[in-house]
Structure 1
Amino acid sequence: MKHTSIMSLLTLFALALLASLSLHAASAAAQITGYSIQRVNHHIELMYTGHMVINDTLYLSGQAPSSFLIGLPYKYSSYLLKAIAYNAGTVFPVELGVQIGGQSGFYAARVNLSGVSPETFTVIFLLSNQLVTESGDTFTVDFPAYPAFEVPVAMCNVTLTLPSTASGVTIDKADGVVYAANFEKENLEPFTYSPAIASFTLTGGGLQLLNMQTLNRQVTVDPAGSISCIDTYRVQNNSTGDINSLVLYLPVNASSITVKDMFGRTLGTTVSKENNRLAVNATLAVALRSSESTLLSLEYDLPRVVPKQGTPFNVTLDIAEYLNYYVEDAAVTITPPEGARLVSAGSTEASSIPLGISKEVFQEKVTLSLQGLSYLDAVTFPDGAFTVAYDYSPLWSSFHQTIWVLALYAVVAVAYALWRKPAIVKPKATPAAVPFSVATEQIDTFTEAYEEKLKLSSELKLLEERAQRGRIPRRRYKVQRKMLEIRLKTLSDEINTLKGVFQRAGGKYADLVEQLERAENKVTEAEQAMKDAETRHNAGELSIETYKKLLEEYKRQKTNAEAQINGILLRLREEIH
C-alpha cells in the first residue's frame, strides 16, 4: 500500500513537470530566438484544376528575425511549383531548397524579411495536381497536415477548402483521424513531420484534373477605346477519364463571351459569377480523353477606355487575379490603336515582370511573358493589375481614308494631264534584261537548312509524343522544346529568304520553288485531314473501317508529297555537283 502511494505521487509529479515544460516552451523559445509564433492559420485549398495552394499566415510576437524558415515534408518537394511570401504592401524574396534546423526529411523555404519586422505575414506554396487522385466520384489529396518551424507554435488552425459539393470528408494524419475539413493543434512542436491523406466524395463538378499548358492572350484596343480580347488555351486532360466540359475563367466585367474549339466551332456555354470572377462552363464538341490536349479560344469584350481631358488613355487589365488554375506558360499582348504612342507600361513595382515592346511603322505593342500564372500572382502586380498608357489623336481614325482619297486624286490628276497633253514617245532600244544569278553556295545553304528543318521537325514530334506519355520530365521537355522551336524559326527564316532569291532568278529555280511549296501544302493538308478523321472517329461519325481507310489514304498522300520534296532537294543538290 505504501509502495502504491509513492508511485502515485511520482506519477502526479511527472505530469505536473511535463505540463510546466509545455506551458513555458514558447516563452523559452522566445528568449532564445527573440520571437515566438502565437498562431498559424494553415489553409489548404484546391484550385479548379486540382493544383494545391498551401497558405500559411503567421502571427508573431517579439522581434522577428531577418530571415524566416518554414518547411514541408521532403516528399512534397518534387511537386512544388512556386512559393510566395508577403504581407500588406510588401512581397518578400523566397529561397527554396534550404535545410531547416539541421533536420533531415524536410524541404524548407527561407523568407528574407528585408529588414522589416512584421507581426503578421503569409507564405504560400503552390503544388501540382499530381497529389490529387480520383476514382469515380471519390478523390484523395496528399498534403502536409502542419507546417514545420524551428520554434513551437502556440496554436495551429488547419482548414481544407474543397468544392462546395464535396461531402464525406475524412483526414488521416499522424496524430489521429478527423471527419471534418478543419481542425486545430495546440502547442505544435518544432520540426513537426506530418503528411496527411484527405478523402472525400464530389458530385456536380468543381474539380477537373487539367494541365493548362499555355495561354496566349491578345488584347486589342480600337480607336473608340473599345477593348476586345481572345484567350487561347492549350489544355491537357490529366485525369483518368474523359472530360466532356470544362470551366474557363474571366474578369467579372467581361461581356459578349464566346468559346470556340481548335476547328473554329462555337461551343455551348453557361456563365456564372464566382466571387471576383466569371466561370464560363464550355461543353466540348468531342470529349477530351485522358492525356490528350486541345486548343480552346475564349473571345470576350472588356469595358471601353474613356480618357479624361488632357490625359492619356489607360488600359488597366487584371492579368491573374481571376485565374483559378495554374497556367504553365502565358503571354499577354496589348495592341493599342494604329498611330497610338505608348507613354508607359506597368510601373517600377512591376519591373521584375518580363516585358517586351515591339514597334512598327504606325503600330506599337506590349507583350508580357509569364511562367506559372495563377491568381496567386496578383500580389506581384501593383493593385493586382497591369496598366498600359498611350496617347492617341482621333485624326488617326481617318488616316487610311485620307490616303485613299489622296491616291485617287493623284490618279485622276495624272490621267487628266495625259489626256490634255499626250506625251510624244520616241522609240528607244529596250535594254536586255540582266539575269539574276544563283550562287552555288546559296543552293548548298538552302538544301542543308531544309534537311535540318525536316530532321528537327521530326525530333519535335517525337519529343511531344514522349511528353504526352510521361516519358520525359516536364521541365526538361520545356527546355528542349524551346531550343528546337528557336532553331526551327531561324531555319524557316533562312529558307524563306533563299526562296525569294530563287524566285527572282526565274527559270528552273522559280519553278522548283513553286513545286516545293505545292508539296509542302499537300503535307500540311494530309496531316490536318488525319487529325480531322481522328476527331470524327472519336465523335462516332466514322466507323473503325472507314477511319482506317481514310488514314491509309492520307498517309499515302503525305508520303507522296514528302517524296516530291526529297526529289526537289536532290535536283537542287545536282546543280552544285
Structure 2
Amino acid sequence: MKTTAFAFILLMVTLMVFASFLSNMKVVQAQSDYTIEHVNHEVTVLYNGYVLINDTVTINVVTGQATDFLIGFPYKYGQHLLRSVAYNASDFFAVTLNVPLGDPPRVGFYAVKIDFPQGAPQVFSVEFVLSNRLLVQDSQNATQFTSSFPAYPSLVKPVAVCNGSIVLPTDAVLVQSVPGGLAYGEENLPEFTDSAGSATFTSSVDNVRVMDIEEFSSEMRVTELGEIDCADTYYLTNKATEALSFTDIVLPSSAFSVTSQDQLGRKMAAPAQINQTANRYRVTFESPLKTNESFGFSVGYVLPGNYTVQRGTNSFVFNISMFQHLNYYVAQASVSFIMPEGARVVSLEDTLVGDTFSLSRDVYQETATITKGNVISLDSFNAEILYNYNPLWLSFRPTMWVWALAIVGCTVAVVWKRPKAAVARVPAPAAVVKIGAEYLKSFVDSYGEKMKIALELDSLEVRVSKGRIPRRRYKVLRKTLETRLGTLDRDLAESKDRLRGAGGKYSDLMRQLEISEAEINEAETNVKSIEARHAGGELSLEAYRKLQSDYQRRKDGAESTIKGILLRLREEIR
C-alpha cells in the first residue's frame, strides 16, 4: 500500500516537472531579442511653451518577432505628460500610458508601451507632449526662459548611438543647456538612463507666449459660388507672469479679408500678417490679459474658390489641408464644413478615418464636423468632401422672396380697393418731444448689440449640445452674455418709453417693434414646444419639420420688420 502511494506521488512530481519544462521551452521560444541601433531624440519648445519630444528609434530584431516596445523618462516628468503617439511612415500604433519600465520593473521611471500586432518595424517614431508648466519665465528678465525636459530616453536596452537636439522658438538665443549645446549625443547609452535636461534661452516675447489654448473651433461655410466664408474661434488662458496683449495664429493659405472680434461680437483691430510662408497672423487684444485670465475671440476670413473643384455636371469636391505649420498645442479642436443649401454630401475622404467626425442634416443644409483632442502639427490632415449640388438652388432664396412680395402685393391691392369709411379729422398733438440724433444712434447701436448677443446665445446652445464646448466654459460665457443682455434690455426699455412719449412716427415705430418682439418670443416658445412633443413621440418627423419651418418663417419675418425699423431710425440720424 505504501509502495503504491509512493509510486503515485513520484509520478505526479515527474509530470509537474515535465510540464514546467515544456512551459519554459515555449516561453523561451516565444521570446524575441532585438538591439537598439540608433535613437534620434529631438526636443522642441512650442510657441505657447509646451515641450514636444520626438524619439525616432531604429532597432535590429535578432530573434523572434518584437510585438511591443517600452520607452520612458524620469518619473517626475510623468505628471506633465499630455499625450503620446507612435507611428512610422505608413501606420499609427496603439500606445499604453503609465506602464512599468522593465521586468522586473525599475522604480523612478514613467514608461509607455507601444504594441506592434504585425511585428515591430525597423524604424518608428514616438512623440510626447509635455505641459508648458515646464517652461519658467525669469521674474527679473521677461525675455529669459528655462525649459526642462528629459535629456535622453529611458529604455530597457542599451543604445548604440543616441543623438539629441534642442529646437528653440524663432530667433531664440541659447544661454546654457544640460547636457550642453543645441546638439549633443551619447554612444552606448546605458539602459534605464535617468537624465534630466534643461535649456535657458532668451527670446522676444513675440515668439514665446506662455498660454493654454483650451479650445479652437472653425466653421467653413461653402457658398453657392464656391468661395468659403470662415470663422475661427479661440478660447485661451494667459499662464505667463506678464500681461498678454496679443497672440499669433495660423490661417489656411490664400486667406483674405481677415477680421477679428471678441466673444461679445465687438470689433477688434484687424489681424496683421507676420509670416507669409506659414500664413501666420497676429491678433491684438483691446485690453491685455492678466495672469490666469481667460479670453475668447473670433477671426473671420474668406478663402478663394480654388478650394472647390467641379468634377461633373452637379458634382463638386471641397479639399483643404488643416493644421499645417501649427507651432502651438491646442487642447480641444473642432472643424465644421457647412455645405451650400441644397447640397448633399456623397463621401468623406479616408483621411478622416481615426478622427471623431459627424454629419448632421438640417432641412436644406448638411454639415460635416471633425473633432480632435490634444492637437499638434502631427495632426495636420487633408479633408476632401465630395458633394452633389444643383446650381438651380442659387435661385431658391430670391424665388422665395419674390413669392413673398407677390403675396404681400396682392394683399395690399385687395385692401386698397375696398371702400374706405370716412375718417374724422383728429387734431395733431400740440407739441412733440424733440429726439436728438445722438439719442437715436445710441438706441440703434444698443439694439444691434442685443441682436448679436441673442445670436451668440443661440450659437452657444448649438455648440454645447454637439459637445464642441466644455460645460464649464459654456456656463461662464452664457452668464456673461445674459448679464450684458439684461443690462441692454433695461436701457432699451427706458429708451422705448421716451421714444413712445415723443409721439408721431416714433410712437408708431415703437408699437411695431413691440409687436415684432412678441411674435419672435411666441415663435421661439412654439419651437420649444414642438421639439418637446417630437421628442416625446407626439409629432411625426414630417409634421415637426412643417411646423418648425412655419415658426421659423414667422420669426424671420418679425426680425426683418425689426431690421427695417432700425434702418428707418438710422436714416433719421443722417
- Name the aligned partner's letter for residue 38 of structure 2: R
- Alpha carbons of structure 1 residues 129 and 317: separation in structure 2 relative to 1, 3 Å: same
2:38 — aligned with what? 39
**SS of residue matched to 1:103:** coil
Does 2:48 match 1:49? Answer: yes
Aligned with residue 112 of structure 2, among 81, 85, 109 = 109
CA shift digits 1:53-80 (9 cap, x unpaired): 0000111223561111111111111111
Aligned with residue 318 of structure 2, among 312, 315, 319 = 315
CA shift digits 1:340-388 (9 cap, x unpaired): 11112342x533322222211111112222222221222xxxxx21222
Aligned with residue 373 of structure 1, among 372, 375, 395 = 375
1:221 — aligned with what? 222
Structure 1 window deviating more from structure 2 (255-264 vs 322-331): it is 255-264
2:561 — aligned with what? none
Does 2:116 match 1:121? Answer: no
On the 8 A contact 1:251/1:322 being kept in 2, the answer is no
On the 8 A contact 1:250/1:323 being kept in 2, the answer is no
- Alpha carbons of structure 1 residues 61 and 130: separation in structure 2 relative to 1, 3 Å: same
1:516 — aligned with what? none
2:143 — aligned with what? 137
Return the offset for 1:404: 3.0
Q: What CA RMSD, in Å, does the superposition of the two structures yield over aligned residues?
A: 3.3
Question: Where does 1:181-220 land on structure 2 (aligned, <5 Å)?
Answer: 181-203=182-204, 205-220=206-221
Identity of aligned residues (%): 32
Return the offset for 1:85: 0.7
- Name the aligned partner's letter for residue 77 of structure 1: G
Number of aligned pairs?
Answer: 403
**SS of residue matched to 1:338:** coil
On the 8 A contact 1:261/1:267 being kept in 2, the answer is no
Does 2:424 match 1:391? Answer: no
- Alpha carbons of structure 1 residues 360 and 161: separation in structure 2 relative to 1, 3 Å: same
1:547 — aligned with what? none
- Name the aligned partner's letter for residue 317 of structure 1: I
2:354 — aligned with what? 352
On the 8 A contact 1:48/1:208 being kept in 2, the answer is yes
Alpha-carbon distance in structure 1 between the residues aligned to 2:155 and 2:195: 12
Does 2:327 match 1:324? Answer: yes
Does 2:159 match 1:156? Answer: no
Return the offset for 1:126: 0.6
- Name the aligned partner's letter for residue 130 of structure 2: L
Return the offset for 1:254: 2.3
- Name the aligned partner's letter for residue 250 of structure 2: Y
1:473 — aligned with what? none
Alpha-carbon distance in structure 2 between the residues aligned to 1:358 and 1:240: 43
Give TM-score scaled by structure 1 length. Answer: 0.64
CA shift digits 1:394-430 (9 cap, x unpaired): 00010122223344455667888999999xxxxxxxx
Return the offset for 1:293: 1.2
Alpha-carbon distance in structure 1 between the residues aligned to 2:416 and 2:168: 82
On the 8 A contact 1:143/1:197 being kept in 2, the answer is yes
1:18 — aligned with what? none
Alpha-carbon distance in structure 2 between the residues aligned to 1:193 and 1:254: 47
Return the offset for 1:113: 1.8
On the 8 A contact 1:165/1:204 being kept in 2, the answer is no
- Alpha carbons of structure 1 residues 414 and 98: separation in structure 2 relative to 1, 3 Å: same
Structure 1 window deviating more from structure 2 (33-42 vs 308-317): it is 308-317
Does 2:301 match 1:278? Answer: no
Does 2:85 match 1:79? Answer: no
Alpha-carbon distance in structure 2 between the residues aligned to 1:313 and 1:357: 17
Alpha-carbon distance in structure 1 between the residues aligned to 2:468 and 2:409: 59
- Alpha carbons of structure 1 residues 394 and 310: separation in structure 2 relative to 1, 3 Å: closer
Alpha-carbon distance in structure 2 between the residues aligned to 1:408 and 1:527: 33
Does 2:363 match 1:364? Answer: no
- Name the aligned partner's letter for residue 309 of structure 1: G
**SS of residue matched to 1:395:** helix
Return the offset for 1:319: 2.8
CA shift digits 1:124-158 (9 cap, x unpaired): 00111000001122211110000011111111110
Give structure 1 stretches of 5+ with no counterpart: 1-31, 379-383, 423-477, 493-519, 530-577
**SS of residue matched to 1:352:** coil
- Alpha carbons of structure 1 residues 389 and 528: separation in structure 2 relative to 1, 3 Å: farther
On the 8 A contact 2:100/2:106 being kept in 1, the answer is yes
CA shift digits 1:457-494 (9 cap, x unpaired): xxxxxxxxxxxxxxxxxxxxx999638969x99xx9xx
CA shift digits 1:480-521 (9 cap, x unpaired): 9638969x99xx9xxxxxxxxxxxxxxxxxxxxxxxxxxx97
Does 2:66 match 1:69? Answer: no
Aligned with residue 398 of structure 2, among 382, 396, 401 = 401
